[in-house]
Amino acid sequence: MRLASVAGTRLAVVADDRLVDVTDALGLAVDRRGPLQALLERDDPAAELRALDLAALPSRPLDGAALDAPLPRPGKVVGAPVNYRDHQAEMREQHTVADLGVFLKAGTSVVGPGGPVRLPYRDVRTDQEGELGVVIGRTARHVAADRALDHVFGYVPLLDITVRSGEDRSTRKSFDTFTPLGPWVTTADEVGDPQALRLRCWVDGELRQDASTADMVFGVRELVAYASHVMTLEPGDVIATGTPAGVGPLAAGGSVAVEITGLGRLEVTVTDEGAVAYADRPGAR
């Protein structure tokens, strides 16, 4: 199943070219964390979804609908630094996720399809990183890699937008709008092997990244296992699994798109509205 959020408070199943509204059928009480979060916090979301009679529910055309981020305020976004060998080479980085561990992005950095991504600094490069996003469905703590996928609800295209300043990694990746997520979450049963997906990312229509998730250093299983050894992963948490080679600067007025096999295409625009010079950031000396 593909699960989208519309109008901030409604959960829809994407069925062919229709959005079927399942909010009332599931009795979802909605807050600012969104209707999918409310569903994921229940005992068995997959069973509830399977029990729905979609043909009997109200629907509207997918075409032209404005979709929101499926999870607008995840409890946490866990990131994997340097998790593809070709990206390790382009960054001239000696280490990988095996040495660096994971990092956190602020939940408030999430933005939905369309964006915009806001460039914070006029004079410091901000890059796109196209990534496979993993949505946790079941609480995970000290989970072994061979059981890790039992804790995954689904997958979603994600952009890990990053400023290449000297600031700490969590700062550089946590500006508001720096985690575009969407267009929807596809449940794990429809995805199969998460290490056999093609990921492509375009900036201003130019293909910058074209890779297979088979080339991750830590696969989804290993990332869930590793992260759950550090922190409790909760339903609705998102893991950004790292980016392949081909990262590069964004420019105001431009666009970014990331597409992953079977998961859809996420597109956002880029603006420098509100950007400041790096030397003018608060507290700079």
**What residue ranges bind Mn ion (CB under 5 A)?**
129, 160, 243
Of the pair 18, 76, the CB lying nearest Mn ion is at: 76
Q: How far is the CB of 264 from Mn ion (least distance, A)?
A: 19
The least CB distance from residue 230 to Mn ion, in Å, is 17
- Output phi, psi for 22, to 5 deg: -110, 10
Residue 63: half-sphere exposure toward Cβ, Cα within 13 Å: 2
Of the pair 160, 237, the CB lying nearest Mn ion is at: 160
Judged by beta carbon, residue 13 or residue 97, the one nearer Mn ion is 97
Phi first, then psi: give them for residue 214, nearest 5 degrees: -65, -20
- Cα–Cα distance for residue pair 100/168, rounded to 1 Å: 13
| Minimum distance, C-beta of residue 129 to Mn ion, in the bound complex (Å) | 4
CB contact at 8 A, 10 and 21: yes
d(CA 258, CA 157): 7
Torsion of CA 215, 243, 36, 107, to 10 degrees: 140
Structure tokens at 114: 């369309």
CB proximity list for 249: less than 8 A, separation 6 or greater = 125, 126, 127
| Closer Cβ to Mn ion, 21 or 129, answer by number | 129
Q: How far is the CB of 192 from Mn ion (least distance, A)?
A: 24
The residue number whose beta carbon is nearest to Mn ion equals: 160
User: Which one, 209 or 243, has the nearer CB to Mn ion?
Assistant: 243
At closest approach, how far in Å is the CB of 77 from Mn ion?
A: 10
